Amino acid sequence: MSDTAETIEGEKDQLTDRIVAMILDAVEARDTTALDEILSPLHAADIADLLEQIDDRDRRDLLRLWSHGVDGDVLSELDEALREDVIAALPADALAFAVRDLESDDVVDLVEDMDSDRQEAVLDALEAPDRVAVETALSYPEESAGRLMQVEVVRAPVHWTVGETIDYLRSHDDLPGQFYHVVLVDPRMKPEGYVALGRLLGAPRAARLTDLTEGSFRTFRVDQDEEDVAYAFNQYHLISAPVVDADDRLVGIITIDDAMAVLDEEHEEDILRLAGVGEGSLADRVIATTRRRLPWLAVNLVTAILASLVIALFEDVIAGLVALAVLMPIVASMGGNAGTQSLTVAVRAIATKDLTGANVLRVIRREMLVGVVNGMIFAVVMGGIGWAWFGEPLLGAVIAIAMVINLVVAGLAGTVVPIALDRLGIDPALASGAFVTTVTDVVGFFAFLGLAAVVLL
């Protein structure tokens, strides 16, 4: 075993910085033997990560030297921002070789966002039945169960025994790479239940499949939203679930790894949307990233200008007491933070279906009460600081009262805004932040400066 191979052996689970450096050295030296030795033991997901982390030039060079190593799994794992580049860099035969090995759902995932020319090139590489399966899947709506499922399903007639099923499985050498259940179908292909492979293995040959079915069985419709599918997998601990068409006939099966990927994407989307970052990835370029973040900053600019208009109403008041300009951002900032806390909790609770008609009033009341309590605590603290800093007890009183008002409003807006957006069919993760901070900025400045105008001048 060479030194290189030994190193890889010890670190095989991770794509460490050291391994990346070794790969880049091998690319630099055009040493295909070393490349093979380092890359071959790596998992497709790690090779995809590697391709995402190195820069454009290194990636081109690597693909030129090692195109035979980029199989379908690597393409599947690749970030969409890079996938088209990598596919374009592959020779036609390498591409055909790569995609033939994939299950139908992985091919769908691979080609669904491609322009039609490139999509055609990939589909041409498939054998006829696989091509039909992929094209059928592409006919279902985007982000539906139909796009997520694989058409390779292991099924058995409801009247079969364990023995018949095992004999059938042994006589087929084209079983799917991974499957966890045998789906029982009636003569019209309607799924009636499923049997976990573990139960099949533990039962005598004479046992009837219908006596071994599991209570967890549930089916999805091809046109159902993938988000609902992922929610159900997570909520009901499903491992696989059949997909049926409008006539209740079995057309495919969704497995947990696909549901897990959707859940992961939904989470990621929520986090990024809450932060005002559109979808996208680390592999995107400056222009793409700039363009995606600009609209959110533009919304924020409008929000900030609205807040400034409120301040402008009180220019005379500020001119009379500049200390107000020093203290006013504190009230707005505390309100913005408290509002973000409430809205994040609400957005997550809506996503996980924990916030419903049954508890919505209780949650709103709780958030407002939390605002009252925290508002009073910080009113005392900040009132004291304001007084001590500027030697004016009334200034302390003004900031204290404004603080309580803004934190209660923050709790209210932080809960009501996402709920209202959700009822209107708008993703609350997307738009709540802008609304809530507008409210807390406007209320914060207005309460503080307005009270100051009344009390201090």
Site for its own copies in 68-97 (CB under 8 A): none
Q: How far is the CB of 117 from its own copies (least distance, A)?
A: 29
Distance of alpha carbon 188 from alpha carbon 20, whole angstroms: 54
Query: Is 28 one of the binding residues for its own copies (CB under 8 A)?
Result: no
CB 34 within 8 A of CB 42: no
Residue 135 vs 157, nearer CB to its own copies: 157
Pairing of strands 220-221, 240-244: parallel
Give Cα separations from 286 to 48, 82, 240, 294 (angstroms). 21, 14, 40, 12
Q: According to CB under 8 A, which one of 114, 341, 380, 431 is a site residue for its own copies? A: 341
Lookup: tokens for 346: 């609400």
The residue from 88, 260, 426, 455 that contacts its own copies (CB under 8 A) is 260
Q: Examine residue 197 and tell whether it contacts its own copies (CB under 8 A).
A: yes
Query: By CB under 8 A, is residue 279 in contact with its own copies?
Result: no
Q: How far is the CB of 169 from its own copies (least distance, A)?
A: 5
* Least Å from the CB of residue 124 to its own copies: 27
- Please list, in sequence order, all residues whose beta carbon lies within 8 angstroms of the beta carbon of residue 253, skipping any fewer than 6 positions away: 149, 150, 152, 153, 179, 181, 183, 240, 241, 242, 243
Q: Which of 31, 333, 397, 427 binds its own copies (CB under 8 A)?
A: 333
**Comparison of 94 and 196: residue with beta carbon closer to its own copies:** 196
Binder among 30, 64, 218, 249 for its own copies (CB under 8 A): 218
- Calculate the CA 57 to chain-centre distance: 29
Q: Which of 27, 133, 137, 256 binds its own copies (CB under 8 A)?
A: 256
Closest to its own copies by CB, 121 vs 197, is 197
The site that binds its own copies (CB under 8 A) totals a number of residues, namely 117
> Minimum distance between the CB of residue 453 and its own copies, rounded to whole angstroms?
14
Q: What is the footprint of its own copies within residues 133-172 (CB under 8 A)? A: 154, 166, 169-170, 172
Q: For its own copies, which residue of 13, 115, 117, 127 counts as binding (CB under 8 A)?
A: 13
**Which of 56/93 has CB closer to its own copies?**
56
Kindly tell me which residue out of 203, 244, 430, 443 binds its own copies, with binding defined by CB under 8 A.
Answer: 203
Question: Could you say which of 22, 38, 39, 46 contacts its own copies (CB under 8 A)?
Answer: 46
225 strand-pairing partners: 144
How far apart are the C-alpha atoms of 210 and 426, rounded to whole Å? Answer: 44
Among 4, 53, 119, 210, binds its own copies (CB under 8 A): 53
Within residues 412-451, the interface with its own copies by CB under 8 A covers 441
Q: How far is the CB of 220 from its own copies (least distance, A)?
A: 10
Would you say 103 or 123 has its CB closer to its own copies? 103
Residue 323 binds its own copies (CB under 8 A): yes
Nearer to its own copies by Cβ, of 125 and 317: the residue is: 317
Task: Name which of 250 and 364 has its Cβ closer to its own copies.
Answer: 364
Binders in 349-388 for its own copies, by CB under 8 A: 349, 353-359, 362-363, 366, 369-370, 373-374, 377-378, 381-382, 385
Shortest distance in whole angstroms from residue 92 CB to its own copies? 27
Shortest distance in whole angstroms from residue 223 CB to its own copies: 16
Q: Does 293 bind its own copies (CB under 8 A)?
A: yes
Question: Which of 270, 430, 443, 451 touches its own copies by CB under 8 A?
Answer: 270
Comparing CB distances to its own copies, the nearer of 133 and 340 is 340
Nearer to its own copies, 20 or 89 (CB): 20
- Residue 239, interface with its own copies (CB under 8 A)? yes
| One of 29, 88, 271, 455 touching its own copies (CB under 8 A) | 271
